[in-house]
Structure 1
Amino acid sequence: MQRKAYVPGLATLLVALVAGCTADSGTDGSAIDSKSGSGTSAAAPAGKYRTLREPCGSVPRSTLKDLLPGAAELPEEQQQKIFRGAAAVTYDTDRRVGCSWKADSPDASHHLSVDFERVVSYDGAVSDDDRAQEVFATKQSGASRPIADAGEGSPTATPSTSTSKPATGTPTGTPTGTPTGTPSNSASGTPDGLEPRVLDSLGDAAFLDDVLTGAGAGSTAQRRTVSVVFRTSNVIVTIVYGEQPARTTEVPDSKELQEKAQSLARKLADEFSG
């Protein structure tokens, strides 16, 4: 019987092809997202967060009652609808989610929204945290007026923007949102001392924006919108809280809206860090 010839070169080629296919089979989207596919010790670290919180359940009902005055007096069915919130439409809930609420009362209309964004760096030399700081800085530069950056790790506001004392010449106890007795900053429509600014002790970096605008559509009413944006590791949280009074002669109170928005921001920051 004639034996078949053994070809060493062919066997070597088959082994190489099988090894190559095996090595490629581990590359997928999750490896890129988590930075675990690089296999090198020099790769920048991944961020702390791999998923995001459910946004519509992130704000307690007691907090919503405070932020949306008048909603608690409505029939139970309407309350449920308002406090449930409306989830934002997103295509990847591990990367970005959001929720919004709105309530009308005889005195004013209030709206609230929260947005959670998980930043992932696709550059092996740039960490998720560093990339998130770049995204955060872009958001800060887009505020209604320039906000000085005190530097990573020490987001300290300048003395002129402190909220602990009234601005010079402002009578103590005067409502800061009223059009009389309180000097206003012309760029953003906010009282002096409450201008857009960097915030202390909130996440890894944070800033506040405050804008007074017309309600639009021919209305003479004024609407104030306060935004608080903070970063914790590779997640950026944006809170937008606004009020539009029913009476056109009234101006929404900056101090009250800012305090409520910052209080919610601190609660969310605690939840992420917990």
Structure 2
Amino acid sequence: MQRKAYVPGVAALLAALLAGCTGGSGDDDPTDNANPGSAGTASAVAEPGRYRTLPEPCGAVGQETLDELLPGIRQITDEQQRATAYAGEATVTYDTDRRVGCRWKVDSADATDRLLVDFERVVSYDGSVSDEAQAEQLFATREADAHLPEPTVTDSGSASAAEPGASASASPSGSAAPSSSPASPSSPSSPSAASTDLQPRVLEDLGDEAFLDDELSDSGSTAEQRTVTVAFRTSNVIVTIEYTEQPTRLGVVPDSKEMQDRARKLAVQLADSLSG
């Protein structure tokens, strides 16, 4: 009979001790180390970018497109040299998972044409900033560095701007410096003014965001060189196209509309290939 009275007493004591061990500070501390994945302890981690790889850059531009951008390529009679011209040359990079590019250069009787295509996959090393947000910040910086002109409004209410390449780059104070080159016959003040649609500008119909720059260099004793740059961002990948033409004869100015149309057409093709 004494054993029956003693055993329940021991059980009650053990129960009290166990209750003391499982209670206490665990109720006061919301960060339970035994459950590090709980909602109270897990920090929000930004999602990775859409793109984890980059295309092979020298194969990203088709032969038909190269024929259009680099007319002299079809004038190369030697088959091996022509094949080399089509193949392009990969740009130097130290991490092909992050950045790749390819360049082409072709001389013809009328001009020297150059093309550069660059792909950059942006990766954020800040766990609270997504790859796409990081790419958006980087693209905004590059757009600002391009110093795109602000459209001006005329008395008629329409927007106008300087002829592409007519204005010099911005001065250190941030204002545009006047051009030292003589006025072009096709400046906006002349009846034969080129469309203001050709000015450097933001593009609304390419990727997530895009811009176009158009610069006509003052080469002094040599023919003027025009460079059209089209850059766009799709998620966490930034694509940049630089298309340059320098005529072989003095007084010949590369056609802005033709070069812009070619560069934009290529940009659309590259954007579609990434989306696909």
Give the CA deviation at 1:259.
Answer: 0.5
Per the alignment, residue 205 of structure 1 pairs with 209
Q: Which amino acid aligns with 1:199?
A: L
Give the CA deviation at 1:144.
Answer: 4.3
Per the alignment, residue 24 of structure 1 pairs with none
Give the CA deviation at 1:119.
Answer: 0.2
State the distance in 2 between where 1:141 and 1:147 align: 12
State the distance in 2 between where 1:264 and 1:99 align: 14
Deviations 1:76-117 (A, max 9, x none): 111111111010010110000000001111111110000000
The equivalences for 1:247-258 within 5 A come to 247-258=249-260
The question of 1:47 aligning with 2:49 is answered yes
Per the alignment, residue 131 of structure 2 pairs with 128
Q: Which amino acid aligns with 1:204?
A: D
Which segments of 5 or more consecutive residues in structure 1 lack a partner in the other structure? 1-38, 149-158, 163-177, 185-189
Distance 1:221 1:191, change over 3 A: farther
Give the CA deviation at 1:221.
Answer: 1.1
State the distance in 2 between where 1:52 and 1:82 align: 23
Q: Which amino acid aligns with 2:202?
A: V
Of 78, 83, 97 in structure 2, the residue corresponding to residue 80 of structure 1 is 83
Specify the SS of the correspondent of 2:218: strand
State the distance in 2 between where 1:91 and 1:196 align: 32
- Number of residues of Structure 1 aligned to a counterpart in Structure 2: 205
The question of 1:98 aligning with 2:98 is answered no
State the distance in 1 between where 2:98 and 2:140 align: 19
TM-score between the two structures when normalised by the length of structure 1: 0.70
Give yes or no for contact 1:161–1:194 (8 Å, CA) kept in 2. Answer: no
State the distance in 2 between where 1:89 and 1:198 align: 29
State the distance in 1 between where 2:247 and 2:188 align: 20
Per the alignment, residue 35 of structure 2 pairs with none
Of 141, 144, 150 in structure 1, the residue corresponding to residue 144 of structure 2 is 141
Distance 1:181 1:201, change over 3 A: closer
State the distance in 2 between where 1:260 and 1:86 align: 20
Give the CA deviation at 1:72.
Answer: 0.9
Percent identity, please.
Answer: 56
Specify the SS of the correspondent of 1:70: helix
State the distance in 1 between where 2:142 and 2:239 align: 11
Greater Cα radius of gyration, structure 1 or 2: 2
Give yes or no for contact 1:140–1:147 (8 Å, CA) kept in 2. Answer: no
Q: Which amino acid aligns with 1:118?
A: R
State the distance in 2 between where 1:227 and 1:120 align: 24
Specify the SS of the correspondent of 1:262: helix
Root-mean-square deviation (CA, aligned residues, Å) is 2.4
Distance 1:214 1:78, change over 3 A: farther
Give the CA deviation at 1:181.
Answer: 3.6
Give the CA deviation at 1:70.
Answer: 1.8
The question of 1:194 aligning with 2:198 is answered yes
Specify the SS of the correspondent of 1:79: helix
State the distance in 2 between where 1:136 and 1:56 align: 23
Per the alignment, residue 185 of structure 2 pairs with 180
State the distance in 2 between where 1:92 and 1:181 align: 45
Distance 1:161 1:132, change over 3 A: farther
Per the alignment, residue 159 of structure 2 pairs with 160
